[in-house]
Every structure is written in structure tokens, then in C-alpha cells.
């Protein structure tokens, strides 16, 4: 048989990441065993599921378990399972290389991290649990054979620049990971991981809830005997009084492969015609892949304590993709597929209840630091639900927080915004943009700032999608201050200014007509503005127009959206505009200046010029004429 022995090099980024594990900045090195046992448990879950789905699979499922073998003389600890195993190709893909999507981002963030805690949180988010073995071992050997296959694969690395991989003939079904332990070093928190008591302590602290038996050979009264050292109690089936916060935290880490405690734990139990139990968690940090296309989402699905699938998308909507946990149903088929789940009435009912429970939990957290953390990490994702979860829109609006012009430091709920509204104010005013600074300095803000009206500052990409479609909240309609006409004057102010406005319309009528014609390729109308106090001009859309940002987003998604012309508004009191009118009245039409005015308005709102070189040339020529 061709053993196909290869010595391969880690990729540069993978080597850097591996070195972080070898020279770990993480003080609690005990968690390496938790990670290896967690991986073994996953392999057992996957084998049982595969055996349900494929009756022809040549695999022994009669006694699925995890074994811990210690060799004190050789100073090795082996974690062995008889689960699904891996093929040679899977070993190369899953174990041989670490460099997958997000590696570069992880390394960059770790370099930016100011302290040890922040760095280790990032490691946990990336999910490199297998490599935690290098914190305690100077060499790791992996031997695996995939269920149903005859050939096995051995992988080995000393945690430096290379690893070896070879095909071998004899190996039991499943995977064994042998850690060649470093010398004990209490100062570096390296304990004796060949000691029975230490292994039991770690298992009972971190892996007691694993649903498979974790076995170890122990010496008792001079005799060797095999002992199961975990309780195997399903944590989600216990009452809240029968489980500790520490147990919940460890269970979360087991299913999420996160190394930090969850922000919030949610437990549910439904009884009656359709029974299920759920144990859900809100993470404390957004994973690196939260906004990546290839991300996984969904909670684990069990049926009567039998693992069915990871990342069950049918149970959790896209906008709650960060929620982790387990749902254990009593009345589903063990052979249920992802396709069937999408149509299953019971699954849809469970999903509705789970979503409502998650949202109500977030609502109960409001006015706490936990909520502030949650919204900072997951707010943009949650707001995606405003676009596609019509049933829960009102609740999502209730739990959402926004930046506003009221306070530069604190976020505000819509309820708080409404409580601060001026007498007679009928709308919730907002402006979308790339950043708070861009919005605060936008010409559109001038009249609102001058008259003391509060404006929502919406800077997340998803804000462009939902805000037009929502309509209203608590009877108050959302109104973009960059669309339609703005009328902030009281009836008395309107009456006092009526004659002046009428005169301005007469004075500027000819200029507005000419500029509309001159700029017809870019705008559909040029008109006088009631929203400007200091800027010469701004660009606005009609009340129901799609915004330029949304127009770009649609095009990026491959949709053919017609270009929408907008409206150029002029400030009749600005010297540049009055000078332009005077020149026009004298028969000196200045098309270049009109184009410059339009370009300035476009730049002021953070827009893109159609022809930046031409604009620069016109501006330079005009500036030169002033010298």
C-alpha cells in the first residue's frame, strides 16, 4: 500500500496563529482537554446521525464513547473517540491548515488587542480548539479513520513550521489525539496532565454534561478499572435550580467553541400537544464571521436527546444568527432533513416561539449594561429583522437603540425620542449617512439644528433598507430630512415670512428655470430651500425616491435600477447664490458655476462626483480667477 507520507509547511498566517497557541498567552491551560473532548463529542454526534441517515454505513454504533488514556512514563495523554472519523482529505482541510476565512482579520485584531483577555477572546471567536493542545504539548499526533472507510490517516506536528501526514492501514474507527506533554511547570500553569485527579477535575468542571460517557482507566485498591467520569446529564433538561451558572457557561463554550462566558442564558420548556426544551445563549461578543456569507447560523437540534444537526437554520432567522444553543423536540422524526424542516409546521411554531423569547429577553435587559454590550455587538444584525420579520417589527423597534443629535455619547430608543419631541412635532426625523460626522455636518441638518429638532443618526448599511419600509412607530411617521419639502415653521412664523418667500420666488424664478435646464442631466428640478441656513445648496430626493446609497446597494446585488434624478435646493440668502442670480439677471449665465454648486452640494452630503477630474479643474480655474 502507498503510505503517501508527506511533510507540508503551514501557510504564513496559519503559522503565526499556531505560534500564539504554542506560546499561549492564555493562563488557564486546562481548557485544552475541554476542547479535545468537545471535538470528540461532536464526532460521536455526527456518527449517530450518519448511521440514522445511511442504513448501509459500515460503522459500529453499539457503544459510542470517549476514552482518556494516560501513559505516565511516556508523558502522553490521548483523547480517543469511536465517532465519525476523518478521511485524509478532511484531515488536510480541517486539521492540516488553519488559514480559513477570517485568519488575517483575527491576527490584525489580536495585534491591536491591548490586553491578554481581549486577545484570548479573539482566539475563542476564531474557533481553533484543536490547536489548544499545543499549549500543553510539544508534539501532537492525530490518528483517524472515517466510518465506512478502510484506510486511516496519521497527522503529526511539533507546532513549528511543518506537519507530516501519512496513510496507514490499521486504525480503529474514529479519532485519537495524543498530546506529548511538556514538563510540568506550575509557574507557567502547566500541571501534571497524567494525574488521574487532575483529569477528573477538568472533566467534571468543563465536560460533565457531555451526553456521551467519558471513560478513563483508574487504579483502585491495586486494581485497574474503567470508570465513567462525567454525569452525562443533559443540561437543558434540568431545572434552573438544578444547574449552576458555571455549568451553563461551560455548556455554552462547548456548543459555541467560544472561550468566553455568554452574555445571557435563556431557558424554555414547552408542554402540551407539542413538547420541546430549549437552552439558548446570547454571546458577549460578535463572531468574526457575523457578516460573512459563508458563516454558519442556527442552533443545534436534538430529538429526544438524540443529536440531529448542527446549525439548524429553520429554528432561527438570519437576523438572530448569533444565537447559540440547543433545542430538544419530543415529536420529530429522527430522519428529518433540512428540506423537511423548512416546511414542518411544528418547527415553524417552535421558531416563532423561540424568536419571541429571544426578543423579549433582550427587552428585559434594557436599561442595563448587558443591553449596551448586546446592542454594540449585534445591533446592526438585529435591525435586519426590520426588513423581513414583519410579525416582530414592533418588538424589534422597541428594543432598538440609535444615535441621535440629542446626546453624542448615549444611544436612544424610539420611545425616548418620542418623549423628547417638541410640541406639535408630527414626525420622527432621521438622516442616513456613512458616519456621525458626515451627518452632523450635512447641510440638511442646518434648519433642524437651528430650531432644536432632534434627528436620528443612522449610519449602519441596513438602515437604508428598513427605514423607508417601516412607516411609523407609535403613531409617529419616520421622515427623512433629506427628502421632500421641510416645513419647521409655526403658523405665526409662516404668516410673518409669507410675503418674503413670495418675493424670493419671483426674484429667483428665472434663475431656477435656467439652472434646471443647465443641470438637467443630473437633477430633475432646482428650487429654493427652507432647510438651509449657512450652506449655499443641498441635494434632496422626492418623498418616495430611493436614496443614492440604496440605489448602489441594489446595483451591487445585480439588480437593474434606473438612475434617479434628485432635486437641487438653493439657499436664497447665501452670497454665492445671490451672486449667481445677479449674474443671470445681467445676462451672464455661468454654467460652470452652476455645475460647481451642484458638485459642492453632492460632496457636502458625502456623495460621489460623476466626473471628479472635471470638477477639480473647474474649481481650480475659478480659484485662480480670484487671485
Residues that constitute the known binding site for ATP? 35, 39, 81, 86, 100-102, 125-130, 175, 338
Q: Where are the alpha helices (DSSP H) in 414-479?
A: 414-420, 436-440, 446-451, 463-470
The 401-404 sheet, strands edge to edge: 412-413, 401-404, 456-458, 427-432, 476-480, 472-473
Q: For residue 282, what are the contacts with CB-CB under 8 A and spacing of at least 6?
A: 262, 263, 264, 266, 322, 323, 358, 361, 362, 374, 378
C-alpha–C-alpha distance, residues 277 and 300, integer Å: 12
Question: From the centroid of its chain, how far is CA 82?
Answer: 34
DSSP string spanning 196-244? Answer: HHHHHHHHHHHSTT-SS-EEEEEEETTEEEEEE-S----GGGS-GGGS-
Whether the Cβ atoms of residue 45 and residue 303 lie closer than 8 Å to each other: no
Q: Which grid cell sits at 62?
A: 453499539
The 10 Å CB-count burial string (b at 16+, else e) for 12-39 is ebbbbbbebbbebebeebbbbbbbbbbb
**What's phi and psi for 298, nearest 5 deg?**
105, 165
- Residues 114, 458: Cα–Cα separation, whole Å: 29
Cell of 220: 483502585
- φ, ψ of residue 479 to 5 degrees: the values are -135, 120
Tell me the C-alpha distance between 596 and 614, whole Å: 10
What own/partner pairs with CB < 8 Å and gap ≥ 24 does 262-266 have?
262/324, 263/370, 263/373, 263/374, 264/361, 264/365, 264/370, 264/374, 266/325, 266/357, 266/358, 266/361
Give me the DSSP letters along 508-573.
Answer: HHHHHHHHHHHTTTTEEEEEE-SS-SSSSEEEEB-TTPPPHHHHHHHHHTT-------EEEEE-TT
H-helix or E-strand spanning residue 381? helix 369-383
Q: What is the DSSP letter of 434?
A: S
Cell output for 147: 466510518
Three cell numbers written together for 609: 462626483
Say if residues 343 and 322 touch (Cβ distance below 8 Å): no
Cell of 602: 453632492
Binding-site members are 35, 39, 81, 86, 100-102, 125-130, 175, 338
CA distance 447 to 118: 43
DSSP calls for 43-60:
HHHHHHHHHHH-TT----
Question: What gap in Å lies between CA 137 and CA 135, rounded to an integer?
Answer: 6
Residues 6+ apart with CB under 8 A from 477: 426, 427, 428, 471
* 558 neighbors 531 (Cβ within 8 angstroms): no
Residue 458: strand, helix, or coil: strand
Amino acid at each position: 500500500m502507498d503510505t503517501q507520507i508527506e511533510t507540508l509547511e503551514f501557510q504564513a498566517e496559519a503559522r503565526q496563529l499556531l505560534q500564539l497557541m504554542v506560546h499561549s498567552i492564555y493562563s488557564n491551560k486546562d481548557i485544552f482537554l475541554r476542547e479535545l473532548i468537545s471535538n470528540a463529542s461532536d464526532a460521536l454526534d455526527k456518527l449517530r446521525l450518519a448511521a440514522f441517515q445511511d442504513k448501509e454505513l459500515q460503522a459500529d454504533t453499539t457503544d459510542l464513547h470517549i476514552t482518556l488514556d494516560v501513559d505516565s512514563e511516556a508523558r502522553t495523554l490521548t483523547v480517543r473517540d469511536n465517532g465519525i472519523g476523518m478521511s485524509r482529505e478532511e484531515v488536510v482541510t480541517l486539521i492540516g491548515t488553519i488559514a480559513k476565512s477570517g485568519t488575517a482579520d483575527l491576527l490584525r485584531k489580536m495585534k491591536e488587542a491591548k490586553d491578554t483577555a481581549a486577545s484570548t477572546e479573539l482566539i475563542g471567536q476564531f474557533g481553533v480548539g484543536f490547536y489548544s493542545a499545543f499549549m500543553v504539548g510539544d508534539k501532537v499526533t492525530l490518528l483517524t479513520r472515517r466510518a465506512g472507510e478502510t484506510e486511516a490517516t496519521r497527522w503529526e506536528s511539533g507546532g513549528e513550521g511543518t506537519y507530516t501526514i501519512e496513510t496507514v492501514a490499521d486504525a480503529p474507527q474514529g479519532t485519537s489525539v495524543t498530546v506529548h506533554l511538556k514538563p510540568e511547570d506550575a509557574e507557567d500553569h502547566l500541571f501534571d496532565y497524567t494525574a488521574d485527579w487532575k483529569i477528573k477535575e477538568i472533566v467534571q468542571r468543563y465536560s460533565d454534561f457531555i451526553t456521551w460517557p467519558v471513560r478513563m482507566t483508574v487504579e483502585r485498591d491495586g486494581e485497574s478499572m474503567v470508570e465513567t467520569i462525567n454525569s452525562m446529564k443533559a443540561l437543558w433538561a434540568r431545572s434552573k435550580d438544578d444547574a449552576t451558572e458555571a455549568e451553563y457557561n461551560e455548556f455554552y463554550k462547548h456548543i459555541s467553541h467560544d472561550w468566553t462566558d455568554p452574555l445571557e442564558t435563556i431557558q424554555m420548556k414547552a408542554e402540551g400537544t407539542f413538547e420541546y426544551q430549549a437552552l439558548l445563549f446570547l454571546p458577549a461578543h460578535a463572531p468574526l464571521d457575523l457578516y460573512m456569507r459563508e458563516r454558519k447560523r442556527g442552533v443545534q437540534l436534538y430529538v429526544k436527546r438524540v443529536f440531529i444537526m448542527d446549525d439548524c437554520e429553520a429554528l432561527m432567522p438570519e437576523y438572530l444568527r448569533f444565537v447559540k444553543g440547543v433545542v430538544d423536540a419530543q415529536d420529530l422524526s429522527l430522519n428529518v432533513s433540512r428540506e423537511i424542516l423548512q416546511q414542518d409546521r411544528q418547527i415553524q411554531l417552535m421558531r416563532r416561539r423561540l424568536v419571541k423569547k429571544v426578543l423579549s429577553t433582550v427587552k428585559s435587559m434594557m436599561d442595563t449594561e448587558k443591553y449596551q454590550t448586546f446592542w454594540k455587538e449585534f445591533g446592526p444584525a438585529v435591525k435586519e429583522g426590520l426588513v423581513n420579520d414583519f410579525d416582530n417589527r414592533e418588538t424589534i423597534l422597541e428594543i432598538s437603540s440609535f444615535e441621535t443629535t440629542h446626546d453624542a455619547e448615549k444611544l436612544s430608543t424610539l420611545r425616548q425620542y418620542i418623549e423628547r419631541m417638541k410640541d406639535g412635532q408630527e414626525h420622527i426625523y432621521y438622516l442616513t449617512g456613512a458616519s456621525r460626522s458626515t451627518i452632523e455636518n450635512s447641510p440638511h441638518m442646518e434648519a433642524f439644528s437651528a430650531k432644536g429638532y432632534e434627528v436620528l443618526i443612522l449610519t449602519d448599511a441596513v438602515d437604508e433598507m428598513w427605514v423607508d419600509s417601516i412607516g411609523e412607530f407609535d403613531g409617529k411617521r419616520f421622515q427623512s430630512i433629506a427628502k421632500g419639502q421641510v416645513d419647521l415653521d409655526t403658523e405665526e412664523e409662516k404668516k410673518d415670512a409669507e410675503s418674503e418667500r413670495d418675493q424670493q420666488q419671483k426674484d429667483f424664478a428665472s434663475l431656477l428655470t435656467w439652472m434646471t435646464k443647465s443641470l438637467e442631466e443630473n437633477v430633475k428640478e432646482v428650487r429654493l430651500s427652507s432647510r438651509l441656513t449657512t450652506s449655499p445648496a443641498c441635494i434632496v430626493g422626492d418623498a418616495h425616491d430611493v436614496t443614492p446609497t440604496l440605489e448602489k446597494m441594489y446595483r451591487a446585488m445585480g439588480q437593474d435600477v434606473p438612475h434617479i434624478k434628485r432635486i437641487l435646493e438653493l439657499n436664497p440668502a447665501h452670497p454665492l447664490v445671490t451672486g449667481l442670480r445677479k449674474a443671470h439677471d445681467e445676462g451672464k449665465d455661468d454654467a460652470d458655476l452652476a455645475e460647481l454648486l451642484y458638485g459642492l452640494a453632492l460632496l457636502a452630503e458625502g456623495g460621489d462626483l460623476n466626473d471628479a477630474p472635471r470638477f477639480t479643474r473647474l474649481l481650480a480655474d475659478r480659484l485662480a480667477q480670484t487671485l
